Structure 1
C-alpha cells in the first residue's frame, strides 16, 4: 500500500481509522499494512478489491430493487451498486460513526433519497429486523482483528434469511479458511436452496446463497455476466468461471 499522503488519522474504542491517498487511489485502513477499502478517484464505482467484485455475482441471479450492505467501510459496494443498478434503494450499516464520517468526507459517497446510511451494530440490526425485506443482503463485516466471526453463527445466518425476500440472495464474505467450514455450509443450506461459492485467490471465500434454486444454464449466466462487465468496469465473467455449487 502506497502511503504517500495521509489524509485522515483518527481512532475510536475499536482502533485506528486512517485514510491514504496516492493521487490515483483513496484507501481506508484500520491497521498497519491493511486495506479495508480502496477506490480509484476517477471511477469510484469500479470495485478494486477482488472479493468485492466477486460479491457482485448475485446480480446474475436477481435484479435487486432493495439492498442492504452490512459494513460500509469506504463505501465501495455502495458506489458499485448505485452506479450499476437503476433506481435501486440502498441501506448501508456501519458500526463506527468515525468510519462513516471518514467515508463521507473522503470517499465520494453517493447520496440521495434512495440511499440510507445507518450507524448501528449490524448483527443487532438484522436481529431486530430491517424496515423492509431486501432482494440482496451483503455482509462485509471487518475490524482491526479481521473478519467479524459473528457472521458464522447460526443465529446471524437465520436473521439474514428472515430479512431477505423469498426470491432474494445473500452475499457473504469470509476468510478462505471457511472454505472447509462444513458447519457453516450446513447452516446456510437450512435457509437457502441455492448455495454457491468461490475462492477469490486473494484470501477470501465468497458465498452467495439464494432462497430459490436458479436453473439458468452456464451459457445464459455467462451471457448475463458479459453484459454486466462494461457496466461494472471489471470482468464479472472471471468470477463466474470460479463459482461452483457447494
Structure 2
C-alpha cells in the first residue's frame, strides 16, 4: 500500500471508535457506522457489498482503474479487491486517524490501495487521471444526522463524471439525498439504476452508459462467487436507460 498526502486539510480531528459488532468489528466515525469487517471474510452482507456490486456491470477488461472517495475501514474496497484482484485502486480519505484505525484493526494494508489523505472535492478537482469506476461514499455530520456535504451532488458528481473513462460508472451511497442524487445522475448519465439493501435505509445510485440494466446486474451479482450470498439482501431497479426498447425492471 502506498500513501500520499494530497493537501493538508483544516478538518478537526474526528472521534474514531472500533467496537465488537456481531461476528466482526465496526468502525464508527463521529458516532456513525462507517465500516464493518469480519476477519477472513471479503464481504459484509450489507451496504458495502451493494456499493461495490456495480463493478460487475463492467466487462472484466474494464475493471482496471478504480477510485474510492471515502475509504473509511475499507469495507467496499475489500469487495472490489476480491472481484478485481489486479485492479489499481486509489482510495481517498480525509482523516489520517481513520486510516490508522483501519490499518490496526481492519487489515487495510492487505488491500494494496494507493491511499491519498485529502479532501475528496480537492482530489477530483485537481487529479487528472481517468477511472473505470468511481465509488463515492462520503457523509458529514454526527451519528444518525449524517448527510452529504454541500458539494454533493453539485459540483461533486459533475466533477467525478469528468474523471470517468468513456463507459465508466459513478456510484453514490445515499440516505435522505437519494431522490436528489437520482435526479442528478439522470441528468448526467443515460443509464441509471438503484440498489437497496434489506434492513438498511441506504440507497445506492449508479450512473453509467446507455443500457445499464438492473436485471443484468442482478444476474451478475447472483452468480458471482464473492457476492452471491449478499445478493439475497439486495434489490435492483433500473431508473433510466436510453435504449429504445428498455423499461424499468
TM normalised by structure 2 equals 0.79
Query: 1:20·1:27 contact (CA, 8 Å) conserved in 2?
Result: yes
Aligned counterparts, 1:126-141, within 5 A: 126-130=124-128, 132-141=129-138
- Tell me what 1:54 maps to: 50
Aligned counterparts, 1:30-69, within 5 A: 30-32=29-31, 34-43=32-41, 45-48=42-45, 50-62=46-58, 63=60, 64-69=63-68
- 5+ residue gaps, structure 2, are 1-10, 241-249
**1:95: how far off?**
0.2
Query: 2:218·2:236 contact (CA, 8 Å) conserved in 1?
Result: no
Compared with structure 1, are the counterparts of its residues 142 and 234 closer, same or farther at alpha carbon in structure 2 (3 Å cutoff)? farther
- 5+ residue gaps, structure 1, are 1-11
Compared with structure 1, are the counterparts of its residues 41 and 152 closer, same or farther at alpha carbon in structure 2 (3 Å cutoff)? same
Give RMSD over aligned pairs: 2.5
Q: Deviations over 1:181-230 (max 9, x none)?
A: 3xx334323321101113435111210110x2126693x544422221x2
**1:119: how far off?**
0.3
Query: SS at the partner of 1:171?
Result: strand
Aligned counterparts, 1:46-125, within 5 A: 46-48=43-45, 50-62=46-58, 63=60, 64-111=63-110, 115-125=113-123
Query: 2:169·2:207 contact (CA, 8 Å) conserved in 1?
Result: yes
Compared with structure 1, are the counterparts of its residues 147 and 226 closer, same or farther at alpha carbon in structure 2 (3 Å cutoff)? same
Aligned counterparts, 1:1-246, within 5 A: 13-21=12-20, 24-32=23-31, 34-43=32-41, 45-48=42-45, 50-62=46-58, 63=60, 64-111=63-110, 115-130=113-128, 132-145=129-142, 146-150=146-150, 152-175=152-175, 177-181=176-180, 184-200=181-197, 201-210=199-208, 212-214=209-211, 218=215, 220-228=216-224, 230-232=225-227, 234-236=229-231, 238-239=233-234, 241-246=235-240
